[in-house]
Amino acid sequence: MFCLSVSFREGFELSGDHDPIKVDWQGPPGVLPQLTRSGWLRSIHWLSEVDSTNRHAKLLAEDRRQALPALVVAKTQTGGRGRRGRSWFSDSGTLTFSILLAIPESEIPRDRWPQLALVSGLAVCDVVAEIVDPAEVRLKWPNDVYIDGGKVAGVLIETAGRDNDRVVIGIGLNVATDLSQAPAEVQQRARSIRDFVDMPIDRFTVLPEIIDRIAERIEQWKIEPAAIATAFSQVCLLTGRELTIDTAGQQVAGRCDGIDSDGQLKLHTADGIRLTIRSGEVVSWNVGAEGCDG
């Protein structure tokens, strides 16, 4: 049960069973109680139009008084950023948001923070799978969510704050994206949830479930990190496939043997060498008898 307690310029504060949450929300009213139900989010920032929610979240990170975790959600995102300097296409059916988090190094050492990519991808995958069931949803390492051979969501993790002690999780999810209006390359590689469900689907109604799932998966990651790798393995798109990965400027080819308990990709090259890859971009992989470019 929440009640309105304090007014301030851009929004209001909700208080109830938890400490007050700073809220500026202009999305569907019914979604707000769901967003705040777990008490995990400490502030919500609605943006009618922004170039990039990740960039905005990084600006918020400069202010040490920000109540975290903070959700930054855009009605319109005009310059979405993707991994490796790519751009992210979105329209009025795409859910685009970022979460700004503080992760005390005492809880999770910094060298484990890159695993947050898998943790977040897994949370989005969980929710998408429930919505499009029985369609098959898979994760392309480290965090691209795939339905039916096409990408439906991408995650961009960035560090932020003066001491790089904050993390931004940026997520773009094609909920009701009209891909016929997208650039040809996006049309070819992307999928939209709306094409796998019978009923109209509103992008913002999906958000609370994703927020809850991210909070749960982060908690699991802190307590039982190996469980993340186990869950990821169950939905890994690449296990058993021949692939080429771009890592540290080098292309390496081999068969994917899944991921290890730290979330690193295991590769078995044609020369019989077994590698574990910490970061990189899978640029192509085989799908049955066919090939696929990432």
Partner residues linked to 99 by β-bridges: 71, 169
For the segment 39-78, give every residue that binds ligand BTN (CB under 6 A): 52-54
Locate 79 and state its tokens: 């310059």
x/- binding map, residues 161-180, to ligand BTN, per CB under 6 A?
A: ---------xxx--------
Q: Which stretch binds ligand BTN (CB under 6 A): 11-19, 80-88, 117-125, 130-138?
A: 80-88
Contact between 98 and ligand BTN (CB under 6 A)?
Answer: yes
DSSP H/E element including 140:
strand 137-140
If the CB atoms of residues 14 and 238 are measured against ligand BTN, the closer one turns out to be: 238
**Residue window 137-156: x/- pattern of binding to ligand BTN, with contact defined by CB under 6 A:** -------x---------xxx
HSE-CB at 291 with a 13 A cutoff on CA atoms is 7
Q: Determine contact, residues 193/132, Cβ cutoff 8 Å.
A: yes
**Closer by beta carbon to ligand BTN, 14 or else 80:** 80
User: Among all residues, whose Cβ is closest to ligand BTN?
Assistant: 154
> By C-alpha distance, which of 122, 123, 124, 74 is closest to 96?
74
Judged by CB under 6 A, how many residues of this single chain contact ligand BTN? 19
Nearest 5°: the CA angle 73, 76, 80 is 80
If one asks whether residue 185 binds ligand BTN (CB under 6 A), the answer comes out as no
Q: Return all residues near 288 (Cβ < 8 A) that are at least 6 apart.
A: none
- Contacts with ligand BTN, residue ranges (CB under 6 A): 52-54, 80-83, 86, 88, 96-98, 144, 154-156, 170-172
